[in-house]
Amino acid sequence: MILDAHGHLGTWGDFFIPHADPAWLIATLDRVGISAIGVSHLLGVGHDARTGNRLALEASEQFAGRIGVWLVGDPHDREAVARLSDDVDHTGVWGVKLHPDTHQVQLTDERYEPLLAFAAERGLPVLTHTHTGSVWSDPALAAEVSKRHAGMPILLGHSGLVENGLTRTAAIMADHPDLIAEICGSQLTRRWLTRLVRLVGADRVVYGSDACFFDPRPALGRLLAAELTDPERDSVAGGTLARLLGHRLTVKEMHA
């Protein structure tokens, strides 16, 4: 079973995305054998989490069991926790998505704390964008948050993004067992994916594509070609994420 931990729906301002609709995404997942994808809507990652979350939930209903939802937590929204509370019990919700760089709030900032406390209390995994060296989302900030909320899985979106930061991300993860490396990004190679798995273990790495920023196919190709054992590849492809999501994962039998 292949699960894509990191996806999006919608368009984005600074570049042209030919296919931003869930139907294209599902057809492409079918084409390459991906069972389900967790998405946040790009409106939510950007300027309107309320609308973005609604659209993501609608897509999840339309493609039940194929599209999971990471509800975007907007640190600028005074009602964010109440809104998350309203939405969190929808079937298909996988967890909470944070994007400190677009919202320009440091992950350790007190404005994130109510959202993190909510996720911890409700047993929701958190997927946060990370970018090595970013004042908003450096992986070390996720480690600080993890110390405050022991037991809450935190998926490090992009694993810090840049190849030369991956060894540091792995070192940070070594001391923080709830941190999970998510592997989408424009700079990762199969060589570095192999190294990352060797450093942290396949049970702490999850496949993600960043669709529809990226086509879901290249990240899968990178995973399939990485020099991993079959059990390692299975864990990264879906096993690790399925364990983290538990009962929240309801994967429908593939259409293809």
Partner 1 sequence: MERTNLRIHDINRVLGPVPHDDVPTDTVEGLLSDLTALGVASCSAVASWQLFGDPSGRAGSLEGGAEPLAAGPHPRVRLTPIVVPTPAGTGWPADPSVVLQSGARLVRACPVRHRWSLLSRTASRWWDACAEHGIALALDLTEVGFAAVAGLAASRPGLNIVALNPGYRELRRCAELLDEAPSILVETGTILTTGGVEWLAGAFGAERLVFGTGGPLLDEAGPTFLLRSLDLPENDVELIAWGNAARLLEGQAQ
Query: Which residue among 114, 190, 234, 254 contacts partner 1 (CB under 8 A)?
Result: 190
Query: Which residue among 1, 17, 199, 251 contacts partner 1 (CB under 8 A)?
Result: 17
Q: Which CB atom, from 15 or from 247, has the smaller least distance to partner 1? A: 15
Q: According to the binding rule CB under 8 A, does residue 132 interact with partner 1?
A: no
Helix (H) or strand (E) holding 30: helix 22-32
Query: Which residue among 76, 147, 148, 191 contacts partner 1 (CB under 8 A)?
Result: 191
Q: Which CB atom, from 85 or from 186, has the smaller least distance to partner 1? A: 186
Q: According to the binding rule CB under 8 A, does residue 32 interact with partner 1?
A: yes
Query: Which residue among 117, 120, 140, 224 contacts partner 1 (CB under 8 A)?
Result: 224
Query: Which residue among 51, 164, 229, 250 contacts partner 1 (CB under 8 A)?
Result: 164
DSSP string, 72-131: E--TT-TTHHHHHHHHTTSTTEEEEEE-HHHHT--TTSTTTHHHHHHHHHHT--EEEE--
State whether the Cα torsion 199-205-210-216 is positive or negative: positive
Q: According to the binding rule CB under 8 A, does residue 215 interact with partner 1?
A: yes
Q: Which CA distances in Å does 233 have to 61, 114, 221, 224, 225? A: 30, 36, 12, 7, 10
Q: According to the binding rule CB under 8 A, does residue 28 interact with partner 1?
A: yes
Q: According to the binding rule CB under 8 A, does residue 186 interact with partner 1?
A: yes
Q: According to the binding rule CB under 8 A, does residue 31 interact with partner 1?
A: yes
3-state secondary structure at position 39:
strand
CA atoms of 10 and 56, how far apart (whole Å): 9
Q: Which residues bind partner 1 (CB under 8 A)?
A: 14-20, 24-25, 28, 31-32, 163-164, 186, 188-191, 211-222, 224-226
